């Protein structure tokens, strides 16, 4: 195993990290302290207009939540990330928009709060990409139980410290992750934390 394969990257609590993956690279996202949601986006590295899409992926896998063996697709219905490993209980979310300043305005009365939408915009800006629309994210480790009549609930992420998922790139991809800064609803157990990842 070479040094690059072992390098550990941090998605800082409330912040973001971005990395390019080649075809066949696998990113392992570790919930280091447990209970942290990670909003995750993937873009075709050659064409940022093509991106992982939850509404297209749900049709491709014919279920709400991807699991090991499932392939997430882009808005052109092409494979972009495969779910290859998951040591959690399998609770992730494809239904919920990234948090944004408007969400915090509704929750707290103030627009001034770190948020996943701004984190994505910062990540893309750091790569010279203009602010664009925000694709609906893959919310790793987020638990949104669907109850009677399709009722949704936000509960604390059940992911335990050290549990992880691994995703393999099916095209050359730009991955952006945001360690969700939501500290008003229960989703991060009210205490956003760092997570870590490596490429293997």
**Can residue 28 be called a binding residue for its own copies (CB under 8 A)?**
no
* Of the residues 100, 155, 184, 194, which one makes contact with its own copies according to CB under 8 A: 100
- The residue among 132 and 190 lying less far from its own copies, judged by its C-beta, is 132
Structure tokens at 189: 């157990």
From CA 159, how far away is CA 34, in angstroms rounded? 5
Which range in 22-30, 92-100, 168-176, 191-199 contacts its own copies by CB under 8 A? Answer: 92-100
- The residue among 42 and 198 lying less far from its own copies, judged by its C-beta, is 42
78 near 171, Cβ under 8 Å? Answer: yes
The residue among 7, 1, 11 whose CA lies nearest residue 39 is: 11
Structure tokens at 164: 């992880």
Minimum distance, C-beta of residue 5 to its own copies, in the bound complex (Å): 34
Q: Alpha carbon 132 to chain centroid distance?
A: 17
Instruction: Tell me how many degrees the CA angle 1-44-14 measures, rounded to the nearest 5.
Output: 75
Q: State how far the alpha carbon of 169 is from the alpha carbons of 84, 109, 118, 147, 161, in Å.
A: 10, 40, 24, 33, 25
- The residue among 32 and 88 lying less far from its own copies, judged by its C-beta, is 88
**Can residue 108 be called a binding residue for its own copies (CB under 8 A)?**
no
User: Which residues within the stretch 52-81 sit at the binding site for its own copies (CB under 8 A)?
Assistant: 53-56, 58-59, 62-65, 75-78
* Of the residues 6, 102, 125, 162, which one makes contact with its own copies according to CB under 8 A: 102
Positions that interact with its own copies (CB under 8 A): 49, 53-56, 58-59, 62-65, 75-78, 95-97, 100, 102-103, 106, 132-134, 136, 146, 149-153
């Amino acid at each position: 195993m070479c040094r690059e394969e072992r390098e550990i990257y941090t998605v800082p609590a409330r912040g973001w990290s971005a990395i390019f993956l080649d075809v066949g690279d696998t990113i392992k996202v570790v919930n280091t302290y447990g209970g942290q949601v990670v909003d995750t986006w993937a873009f075709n590295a050659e064409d940022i207009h093509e991106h992982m899409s939850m509404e297209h992926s749900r049709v491709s896998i014919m279920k709400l939540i991807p699991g090991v063996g499932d392939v997430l697709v882009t808005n052109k219905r092409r494979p972009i990330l495969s779910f290859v490993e998951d040591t959690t209980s399998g609770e992730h979310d494809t239904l919920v928009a990234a948090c944004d300043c408007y969400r915090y305005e509704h929750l707290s009365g103030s627009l001034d709060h770190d948020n996943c939408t701004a984190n994505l915009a910062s990540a893309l800006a750091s790569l010279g990409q203009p602010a664009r629309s925000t694709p609906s994210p893959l919310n790793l480790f987020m638990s949104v139980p669907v109850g009677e009549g399709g009722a949704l609930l936000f509960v604390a992420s059940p992911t335990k410290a050290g549990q992880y998922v691994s995703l393999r790139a099916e095209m050359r991809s730009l991955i952006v992750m945001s360690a969700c800064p939501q500290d008003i609803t229960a989703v991060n157990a009210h205490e956003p934390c760092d997570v870590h990842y490596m490429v293997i």
